[in-house]
Structure 1
Amino acid sequence: MKGLDSLKARWQAWWPALEPREQRMIAIAAALVVLALFWWVALAPALRTLSSAPAEHAQLDVQLQRMTSLQTQAKALQSQPRASRDDAMRGLETSVRQNLGPNAQMQAAGAGEGVTIALRAAPADALAQWLGQARSNARAVPREVHLTRSTQSATPPPSASPSPATSAPAATGDSSRVRWDGTVVMSLPAR
């Protein structure tokens, strides 16, 4: 308290000794400092938040729409009648043949726990479409996935010869020609 008292005494001796013009200038400078601090601490962050709110609101609306569509998909899948294991197996076989063609081989896993699909140079878009069909039509879900990016393009059927038009996109690294090798173990509905 002694330091505060001495500071107060020094202020009381110094302030009246100043000219009225100097006192006004010091008061104006102090008011400007207080006003600047009020701006930086209270108003600027609030105005920044207010100006960025519409963009954040739009982003949250997009996320909400995505979540709503996922919820609708989940409810549609839950409302479908349960498929038997044999129906699921047939549906999975059909989707493998339609989407992955000769690039995939399907084999029942041991003890009826699931199905293993071996992929060889499977196109990425066909693989994605097949996974969606397997989930919705056969009610099969991936349990294990071991995929590596294929170093070769899809092998053409033995009777077809590769044409320059089909080999050019693979050579240029076209992203639509990404292919995968590996295995996918799918769980089927219980018997």
Structure 2
Amino acid sequence: MSALHTKWNQLTSKLNPVYLKFTGAGIGVALCLVAISVTAEPKPADPPAAVMAAYQQDEHPEFPAGPGRDVTLRVCSRCHSPNNIVSRPQNREGWEATIAKMVDMGATASDEDFAAILDYVSKNFPAPGTGGGAAATAHVNANKATAADLAKALSLTDKEAAAIVDYRTKNGDFKTIDDLKKVPDVDGKKIDDKKDIIDF
């Protein structure tokens, strides 16, 4: 019996490493498959831009779509509810004064952003009966207006308006919109946006 027991122990001692080797390999393969299944799981895609735009529109339906809408909501919502804008319609001069007041109180944005905000609120939230405010339809003469008048009428920065006056002084009167757009450091898109009220 002892001899048989000894042979059995010898046999199992030889088989155990083989068993453990294959068992370990099997566990390793299983772990790899689990890891692959976890890492291969697709990441949820970001919502399409069109979906986000629709959501933002639905969030504030009282703000009509158009140039300046997004920047108006972004900048003005930092300090107060957008409903403040809807509830206080004004002409363009009134909105200019309101924006200046907001800047004094700490509102921050680029000159281009503030110009876009002014255009947007003046167009979409005018004083009752003005159809956009008196200044919204007032014409400006590119060859006679002061820098301040150009900045106000064309929604330009002070630097852009001064550049127009300086260019006009050095090169003579403008004759066309294209002439006006040749002025260095002036955003041509702003000129195009206001071309209907520019006289020469």
More strand by share: 1
TM-score, normalised to structure 1, is 0.31
Identify which of structures 1 and 2 has the higher relative contact order when contacts are C-alpha pairs closer than 8 Å and 6+ apart. Answer: 1
